[in-house]
Chain A
């Protein structure tokens, strides 16, 4: 092994060498491990504004049981990873949604649940309803329905898990630190 380290090679950062030598083994495994941990512990913020909120409650209830995949609700945004916006967002509420989103700790994800949160839904015509929460916060997944079934929401959370598993947590951190 030592023979590979020729002149000039020492200047290359150790991570790159590791990447080059064991591309799949070292960093990816750690990444995978971390992602595994993160994906199985997606805590969602209890944020129910309207009708969809009831289905959000059923989502935690006995039949769908969010706890099965490791998701529990938190009342405070600081401890939540996932914001499920369930229900109509009015203009009066929009700024609070943004505030709540900003109060969440990174990394954070957003599911927009129901027609109202996606685009205003049946209240598209209204003078006071925000036509889609993606106008104020970034959204990862949209769930259609009015209201979506709890199963659909479960599917949404599983999609979030899949997304987390694909992320490169360490590398993202590194580039952040470098930049």
Chain B
């Protein structure tokens, strides 16, 4: 071995590796600690949801969507019911829309909490993660109260939601809105503005705006690169046009625009914005039914439809093709994590192994969204 060149080797990261968030595998070609190439190997959690859906009635598919993105189960199933509603031309009662918005934003908060928490865990800090989980439990309680479940809610229905919110919901949510911002500040003091943390993330794994668009990134990953694109504003669905909120974008405050810290920061800021939305929504929530009149047997007309929501991990779109029967002919799910996975190889050249962990953590991918 000469002094100037060293041998390259292949490292096998995953599928069981603490930092891969579920089951992903990366084949890393590296020179010592410096990465040359990363090949993601996906499919360890391919559960065939799209195929299963073809043999189920439209109603029966909803629970499967909770499992597409288990961290933001509500947002995922929301996408689906929106698609079917579009296909059938169903008008959703306003109260149901408001409930959806509140639950959807709550879901965004807890999803981001896990995301930033496990990101901190990847960076070696354990405590932020447990704190995030502690905050998450408070929201879990609200969800349990409304939907009866802690993780996979199965709550939206075609034409509304399953049932009206129980008594005390309003107070509980308002209480949470009071409780959460100080806790978030505490969290920020602990980790976000931590010197070591910033040094670890600044200028690492930079995704330029052009790259982000070229690879089809959406959600916080895209906004981290400084592009103000949010379905809630740009293509407002549900009742989002009635609320006032900002779309946080990356500004390169610690280093370069589009680095890991920017993406992290976008998530932190989004939680604050979500809190604002929830407060407004709970004030404005009208009375009325929570479910439109929908026939028991759904037989949508022949045609296809695409509907998407701004899920915590980016645009979660559903493409449904109906052949006029009571089951979808084909269903395609478009997820943010899949797009995010494709960019890993592009930006990881020249990073160190520790940075690769930061990159994956900052993209906030989860396995079932990639593999479906």
Contacts and interface: CB of A to CB of B under 8 A. Distances in A.
A54 B130 contact: no
A132 to B, nearest CB: 15
B51 A49 contact: no
Contacts of A100: 16
A54 B51 contact: no
A147 B152 contact: yes
B293 interface: no
Given A47-B16, A51-B152, A61-B137, A128 B46 contact: yes
Contacts of B235: none
B interface: dominant SS: helix
Contacts of A49: 22-23, 44-45, 367
A122 B44 CA distance: 17
B67 A127 contact: no
B48 A123 contact: yes
A17 B45 CA distance: 56
B16 A122 contact: no
A60 to B, nearest CB: 8
Contacts of A61: 130, 133-134, 136-137
B368 interface: yes
A7 B131 CA distance: 70
Interface in A20-59: 46-51, 53-55, 57-58
Interface in B6-22: 15-16, 18, 22
Contacts of A60: 130
A128 B45 CA distance: 9
A146 interface: yes
A126 B114 contact: no
Interface string B114-142: 10000000000000001001101100100
A88 B130 contact: no
A75 interface: yes
A122 B48 contact: no
A4 interface: no
A110 interface: no
The size bracket of the interface on A is: 20 to 34
Contact of B52 (A47, A50, A125): A125
Interface string B50-65: 0110010000000110
B48 A50 contact: no
Given A50-B367, A58-B133, A126 B67 contact: no
Interface in A110-137: 122-123, 125-129
Contacts of A58: 133, 136-137, 140
Contacts of B52: 123, 125-126
Contacts of B43: 90, 92
Nearest to A62: B134
Contacts of B51: 126-127
A50 B46 CA distance: 11
Which of A50, A60, A87 has the largest number of chain B CB atoms within 10 A?
A: A50
A54 B140 CA distance: 12
B47 interface: yes
B151 A92 contact: no
Contacts of B49: 123, 126
Contacts of B130: 60-62
A88 B137 contact: no
Contacts of B71: 54
A105 interface: no
Interface string A136-155: 00000000001101000000
B70 interface: yes
Given A62-B130, A63-B134, A126-B52, A55 B47 contact: no
21 contacts: A48-B22, A49-B45, A51-B151, A53-B22, A54-B71, A58-B136, A58-B137, A61-B136, A75-B18, A77-B16, A88-B45, A90-B45, A92-B43, A92-B46, A93-B45, A122-B63, A123-B49, A126-B48, A127-B48, A127-B51, A146-B152
Given A61-B130, A87-B45, A126-B48, 9 more contacts: A54-B151, A57-B114, A61-B134, A93-B23, A96-B16, A123-B52, A127-B48, A146-B152, A147-B151
